[in-house]
Amino acid sequence: MRVFIINLEKDSERRLSILQQCKDLNIEAEIIPAVDGRTLSHNELEKITHPSYVAGLTPSEIGCSLSHLKIYKKMANENIEKALILEDDALLKVDLVKIVEWYNNIENKSEEVILLSEVNKYFTKPIKKINEDYHLVDVAEAALTHCYLLNKKAAIKLLDFLTPVWLEADRWTFIREYSIVSLKAIVPPVGLQSTLSENSTIWYDQEQIEKRKGFEKSRSITLRKIKKKDHYH
């Protein structure tokens, strides 16, 4: 199984932090250069986004989606059956290794994403007991993309569903509602967020933070329009 870390080249502190964590856990990881949507021109953004459904997405959120899509495409093209995807602000628990070993040894017959981060809501009846400490559960609501497992089948489905870019990478609840993948989680989580996540690379200054409400309102309207339809493309 491959391990990928999404990291902006300029974020050296984050890169060193996550690489050291992986080294401490004896995990061999590959850095995937993140896409900084803020550096893309208006014309470039138009070419890679959905004309009707991109409203409310910021350039940085588009860049984040492109970064994850880059890995999905790599998995499809290089026939990578399973992967652990990390963002550079992840805080890895020691037991992550046990979960990765378990996942590496199971057979995945369906399109499956397993979140290793905290989820908002999940069905309390476990699907499977991993060991005495951890269980696999079905997810009802979730966000965040800093630590998750997926197989090639899921990567291909997500690549098709999310291209051209029109949805945030971490809209797991929306993705689940469209039955694109089977969305599961490990409880309790083994991939948290470090204090580095408090210094957002998406909302990086006060001026941008002030714009957040406007973007969220526009995004909410767009998603409601999509949900009224029976299709997304």
User: Are 70 and 95 found together in one domain?
Assistant: yes
Q: Which domain holds residue 213?
A: 205-232
pTM of the model: 0.89
Q: Are residues 10 and 38 in the same domain?
A: yes
List, in order, residues 6 or more apart from 24 with CB less than 8 Å away.
none
What is the predicted pLDDT for the residue at 111? Answer: 97
Chunk the chain into consecutive blocks of 10 residues (it has 233) and report each block's average pLDDT, rounded to whole numbers. Answer: 97 97 98 97 95 89 97 99 98 98 93 98 95 97 97 98 95 94 98 80 55 64 67 53
The CATH number of whichever domain residue 61 belongs to comes to 3.90.550
Q: Please give the pLDDT value at position 108.
A: 83
Do 168 and 70 lie in a common domain? yes
Question: What contacts 168, CB < 8 A, 6 or more positions away?
Answer: 57, 61, 64, 65
pLDDT at site 109: 84
One domain, residues 115 and 180: yes
Q: How many domains is the chain built from?
A: 2
pLDDT at position 195 is: 85
Q: Are 214 and 57 in contact (CB under 8 A)?
A: no
